[in-house]
Chains A and B, each alone.
Chain A
């Protein structure tokens, strides 16, 4: 539900920069999370955006444009261990009381040496 879209797969080389995009329905939007998920493991929290702009956290940054229904996760100085699925997840305030998250299908990033 909520039409959260992100590319299925991306590849990049070690040391490079990669940008993973996410689009969502703007109606009722109330915040966006990025999670990293290695195969067979739990999603781990990376970032949260609710206001327009860029949030930087070390090698990872996340950007949000509420009016465009668009976010991206920027990964710099890629390392082999960054190979994982990156999940975009949104809050919508339509009757949701405790921050139910709606997830996209995830973007599988492969980092090559």
Chain B
């Protein structure tokens, strides 16, 4: 069964450093998302992406964040200058649009720890 994959599974970085989180969505999906989950809290939407453009972003997704689809398979989330409060699990998701519904399938996540 096709699945979303993410690398790395864990990333530890120093405050102020840049990180890039990578995702390979399901191959026939056209809609891509990033969510995050701070430990013990709910899953929160960051951004959605379609046709090489950001479709929607939340208030969390400020100028320190960017997304890119550099080739036909990868979808990346970059955090330019990490802060302590960026420590969280970051989930990539992808979907197709079937009968008007975007059923999102999530990757296994990248656990980001900012020291």
Binding site for B on A (CB under 8 A): 31, 33, 35, 41-45, 48, 50, 87, 89, 91, 95-106
Contact = CB atoms under 8 A, between A and B. Distances in A.
Contact of A41 (B41, B102, B104, B108): B108
Contact of A50 (B42, B55, B101, B104): B101
B79 to A, nearest CB: 20
Q: Is the interface of A mostly helix, strand, loop or mixed?
A: loop
9 contacts: A33-B104, A41-B109, A42-B91, A45-B103, A48-B101, A87-B42, A98-B48, A98-B50, A103-B44
Given A98-B56, A101-B43, A101-B104, 6 more contacts: A97-B55, A99-B104, A100-B58, A102-B45, A103-B42, A105-B42
A66 B56 CA distance: 25
